[in-house]
A = this chain, B = another copy of it.
Amino acid sequence: MLDVAAEGHFSTKERILGAAEDLFAQYGFAGTSLRQVTQHAEVNIAAVNYHFGSKENLVAEVFRRRLDELSDKRLTTLRAALTEQPGQLEPILAAFIEPALALTLDRHGGSAFVRVLARAYAEKNERLRKFLSDNYGHVMREFSKAIAGCLPDLGKEELHWRLDFVAGALTYAMADFGLIRRPSARAEKIHCQNAAAALIRFTAAGLRAP
C-alpha cells in the first residue's frame, strides 16, 4: 500500500494516517520522519502539525484507528463464544486470533498495521505503552479470564506465561505474514484462514499441556 494513488480519494487527514502506517511499519516510529510521511501522502509538510499537533499524537492516532475496531470485534466474538459454546477453548482463541489475522487482508493498509503492532511491542516508549495499556488493556484481561475458566488446573503464573506465548506466536505470525505477497485476493484469504487454523491448533495444544 505504498502506492499512494490508491488513497487519492481520501481526506488529507486520512491520507496522512495511511502513509504514516505504511512507513511506521517499514522503518519504525523513530525511523520515519514527518517529511517522509507527508511526501508519501502527497500533502504539505505543515498539514501534520495542523491535523495532529505533533508526531507523538500522529502515532497514537495510527493505533486508535485500527485498535478500536479490532478490540470491538475481538470482544464481541469472545462474548458470543462464551454464551454459545461455554467451556470450550478453541472458540476463545479464534475470537482472539482471527480478527487480528483478518487485518492482514484489509485493502486499506491493515496489512501494514500488523507490522506496526509488532513494532509497538518492542518499543519501550513509556507514553506509547501507557496509551496502549490504558486504552486496550481491558481486552487482554477479559481474554485472560475466559481462558483461565477453561483451564482450572493451571497455576496463575503458568497461565500468565502461556498467554504471553500465545500473544508472541500471534504477533510473530502476523508480522511474517504481512511480508509475503500472494498472487490473488482469494489465495490470500485462504492462506490467512489456514494460518489462523494452524495457530489455533498450536496454541490450544500448548495451553492444554500438562
Contacts and interface: CB of A to CB of B under 8 A. Distances in A.
Nearest to A120: B122
A210 interface: yes
A5 interface: no
A206 to B, nearest CB: 4
Nearest 3 Cβ contacts at the A-B interface: A168-B172, A30-B31, A205-B209
Interface of A: 25-31, 115, 118-119, 121-125, 157-158, 161-162, 164-173, 175-176, 194-195, 198-199, 201-210
Instruction: Give the number of copies in the complex.
Output: 2
A161 B195 contact: yes
A172 B172 CA distance: 9
Given A26-B124, A206-B209, 14 more contacts: A29-B31, A31-B31, A121-B122, A121-B175, A161-B195, A162-B202, A165-B173, A168-B168, A168-B173, A172-B172, A201-B206, A201-B210, A205-B208, A206-B206
Contact of A164 (B125, B173, B206, B208): B173
Nearest to A201: B209
Contact of A123 (B28, B158, B209): B28
A55 to B, nearest CB: 12
A93 to B, nearest CB: 12
Contacts of A27: 30, 124-125
Contacts of A122: 28, 115, 118-119, 121-122, 175
Given A168-B173, A169-B169, A171-B172, A202 B209 contact: yes
Best-surrounded residue of A170, A198, A199 (most CB of chain B within 10 A): A198
B161 A172 contact: no
A63 to B, nearest CB: 15
A210 B171 CA distance: 23
Contacts of A167: 172
